[in-house]
Structure 1
Amino acid sequence: MLENQDIHSAILAIMEGLTREGKSPKTLKTYATSFNSFENYLKDNGIKSIDESMCLEYIYLKTGQRFSSFGCVTSDCRVDYRMRPLSLLLYYLENGHFCNKVRKTKPKFICPPSFESEYEAFCEELIYRGYRKSTIESNTQKTQLLIMYLNEQGVTSSNDITILHVECYLKTLKNYAIKYIGTFLYVFRNFFSFLYNRGYIDQDIASMLPKVRTPRNASIPYVWSKEDLQKLLGAIDREDPKGKRDYAILLIAIRLGLRIGDIRSLKLSSIDWNRKTISLIMIKTGQPIELPLLPDVGWAIIDYLQNGRPATNSECLFVRHKAPFNAFGDRNAFSRELHRYILKAGLHLPGNQQHGMHSLRSTLAGNMLDVKAPLPIISETLGHQSINTTGLYLKIDIEGLRKCAIDPEEVFAIENTL
């Protein structure tokens, strides 16, 4: 435990660290105010030393919410206002240096020895088949989850696996969407087919797995209103370095309709400032696409590069803002950031529809339909290989669909004359 003077010195060191990171004056003021309130609380109550439990009691006193640790996740800005500064303070007091939450890396998967041989062979097979990196990750991650479950259930050999084991694991996913469960079934069918064909198992479990029919594009894509988009962008703190990054990312999605995977993969060299274009190879199709660098998008990127992007050797345009400041992971869908801005903007979006990053792409298609843009132009803008794919967005054009509607009375009148 440290005395008050040590606590005050730690707070000063933290504020210096936040300043070095390039936090905006608004953010620095928020931290300073929170620290000042906490120091006054310590002084008024004669508290000479602090620990995590004492800090959690302070947070309960100020917010009325109890937490078991500082590792709890919350979307309440009132709670974050209290927790984030104290989390930094506790880390400093324990370790003696400032660290603004260095990202934790996911521990490496260690396969149980009883499944190691077939798991490694399966991973090699995925690479041999020429699967994309994201597809390989999806297969291996879901297979790892199943293997760990089987190991916990006391299964010691692949040949001891039964369809009942797989069904029991699938029941643990019952609260997830059917489409998501379908991806597990696809991977398991892939995995067990491999095991059966290689002789690791005697039963053809893949053929016993249930089939889940998930019609492609059965739902109507969500389209944001212009008012909601303005509120969403307005909720971003563009004085903050991370806010500059997030604003540019969302603006690219809204104005150019790029998939989040393609935005993640943008390189500094993807932008031709002289020709005012953005060029890249699309992750999903492997096809090249060139889009105009619209003025508002260009200025947002310039603001980020000059005033927000941390010093890093990464060639990617957008990077993480926590050490080690490298590129986003291949599975990062930017959904957490988008959800945070939705809450901050006070938007009330329908709960029965998906409104993630891909919905911003749907919104661009909807806006182009509104101005009567030809379908081939929309297809080229979105980078679709087939115009039939673009045709799915016609469901967004409600006014156009109304014009195609058939009047039942008119139909009946024609039938009666026959």
Structure 2
Amino acid sequence: MKKQQKLQELISELEVYIKSLSYNRATQLKYQRGWKLLNDFMSKNSIEFYNSQVGEKFIFSIMKNRPYENLSRKEKDLLRVANVTSEFQVTGVIRFRSVSKKYDFSGEIGKVILNYLEHLKFKGNALRTIEGKKIHLLRFLDYLKANNIFSLKTLESQHILQFINDLGIYSNASIHHVVGTLKGFLKYLYQKEILLTDFSYIIPKIGYKKESKLPTTYTKEEVEKLLKSVDRANPKGKRDFAMILLAARLGLRASDICRMKFENINWKQNMIRIKQTKTARTVELPLLTEVGNAIIDYLKYGRPESDLSYIFLCMGQPYGKLKEPTLHSIVTFYLKRAKIDNLDKKKHGPHALRHSLACSLLEQKTPLPVISEVLGHSSTESTKTYLRIDLNSLRQCSLEVPVLNSPYYIQEVN
């Protein structure tokens, strides 16, 4: 039986989820206005708990037997807010109703670009990487079409340089990635003898270096406080607790948790074996007793009946695979419920729990290669960023400040 839920509790979960989808400020305000009117409607009608029937009554109060096309833009937005609120309560996600942008790679150059992307896929490039390059090359293709260049035979260095010059409106990071993609594409064209000139040599070097940010971490006490805030007496709590444990105890990424299948768990050997979505690298992790018991508790008493091979599912029909933004909103919700200090100044998704695990391992003097194995890094270089948050070890590296023999400085004597 589904737990009754007050509107404010539902809104707090949904608001975090919407922010995780990077909705713009105007859209967020639209939802907030709609929720206020929905809350006023419930108060006026003495309704304590929200469900889809309440949403339908709210919609009926707005439409008043009028056809949808006769509603104002604001009234249509209110209907959208009510429908989304009901959908999220039942399924835990919002399904996008906007039409996805279709990439137009028509024409001679477009076909060559598609062949290049297939070439990258064959070489083993990650799908996420290929998708990014696809967008960059589409931008280049659109530029060529706008300048009436429909054949690579008519491509000249001035076209490439002008395209790069027009990127000035974008951030340094975007320019760096677009230019890098273009250089690789031009090298491919020359190597495959599609172009007789290697235009990659004219690509200027972009003086960009990604600034490495300090990872957000939580203390052991804060992580335990987070776990205790989960109500495990209901199916949703059982699912959420198991997923949070996978992030906090094993450092799994949200993508790997949401895509985890039954085949990834070897119960006899107490082992989790999973191919990471981000790196395509297979890792083996011990199935800790605490984690295994939480998963079993969810499978026996919380998971909906479904033939899907994914372990973690949405709580309402249709019982689809849980999405990564949903897991992010789940962790954020419980961090807020746990009343963690200075939460507004920290990142608060499952990745922060991964960082926290790394920090905890460093405090226990765990060797860097071992931490790399636990986190599934391909090399210790990726793991070295966590050395900057090991304050205790850094203090041991500090040097005494030398005495300055200068008339401009006075040495204080304690």
Bin for the TM-score computed over the shorter chain = 0.5 to 0.7
Select the residue among 30, 35, 54 that pairs with 2:50: 30
Select the residue among 334, 337, 340 that pairs with 2:329: 337
Q: Is 2:299 aligned against 1:279?
A: no
- 1:208 aligns with 203
TM-score, normalising length: structure 1: 0.65
Q: Is 2:379 aligned against 1:362?
A: no
* Matched residue SS, 2:50: helix
Equivalent-residue separation in structure 2 for 1:328 and 1:200 (angstroms): 46
- 1:252 aligns with 246
- 2:84 aligns with 84
Q: Is the 8 A contact 1:232 1:342 kept in 2?
A: yes
Select the residue among 99, 119, 139 that pairs with 2:133: 139
Shift of 1:281: 3.6
Letter in 1 for 2:50: T
Whose relative contact order is higher, 1 or 2, with alpha carbons under 8 Å and at least 6 apart? 2
Equivalent-residue separation in structure 1 for 2:161 and 2:239 (angstroms): 47
Shift of 1:187: 2.0
Q: Is the 8 A contact 2:377 2:383 kept in 1?
A: yes
Deviation track 1:366-409 (CA, whole Å, cap 9, x = no partner) reads 11222333445434423345445434322111122112110112
Equivalent-residue separation in structure 1 for 2:147 and 2:343 (angstroms): 41
Q: Is the 8 A contact 1:103 1:322 kept in 2?
A: no
Q: Is the 8 A contact 2:179 2:203 kept in 1?
A: no
Equivalent-residue separation in structure 2 for 1:339 and 1:327 (angstroms): 17
Superposition pairs of residues 385-396 of structure 1, within 5 angstroms = 385-387=378-380, 389-396=382-389
Equivalent-residue separation in structure 1 for 2:141 and 2:284 (angstroms): 43
TM-score, normalising length: structure 2: 0.66
Q: Is the 8 A contact 2:314 2:320 kept in 1?
A: yes
Q: Is the 8 A contact 1:24 1:239 kept in 2?
A: no
Equivalent-residue separation in structure 2 for 1:69 and 1:209 (angstroms): 50
Identity %: 27
* Matched residue SS, 2:121: helix
Q: Is 2:399 aligned against 1:406?
A: yes
Deviation track 1:110-164 (CA, whole Å, cap 9, x = no partner) reads 3232533312321232134332333333322432344345545665445264322
Q: Is the 8 A contact 1:282 1:288 kept in 2?
A: yes
- Unaligned runs of 5+ residues in structure 2 are 8-48, 406-414
Superposition pairs of residues 92-107 of structure 1, within 5 angstroms = 106=100
Q: Is 2:109 aligned against 1:115?
A: yes
Equivalent-residue separation in structure 1 for 2:189 and 2:198 (angstroms): 9
Q: Is the 8 A contact 1:334 1:357 kept in 2?
A: no
Select the residue among 119, 124, 133 that pairs with 2:118: 124
C-alpha change, 1:122 and 1:255, in structure 2 (3 Å) is same
- 1:371 aligns with 364
Select the residue among 175, 178, 182 that pairs with 1:184: 178
- Unaligned runs of 5+ residues in structure 1 are 1-21, 59-66, 72-79, 89-97, 413-418
Equivalent-residue separation in structure 1 for 2:145 and 2:317 (angstroms): 35
C-alpha change, 1:391 and 1:57, in structure 2 (3 Å) is closer
- 2:170 aligns with 173
Shift of 1:34: 3.9
Equivalent-residue separation in structure 2 for 1:338 and 1:207 (angstroms): 48
* Matched residue SS, 2:109: helix
Equivalent-residue separation in structure 1 for 2:4 and 2:285 (angstroms): 35
Deviation track 1:196-236 (CA, whole Å, cap 9, x = no partner) reads 44434857156324424325x73332212446545655776
Aligned residue pairs total 354
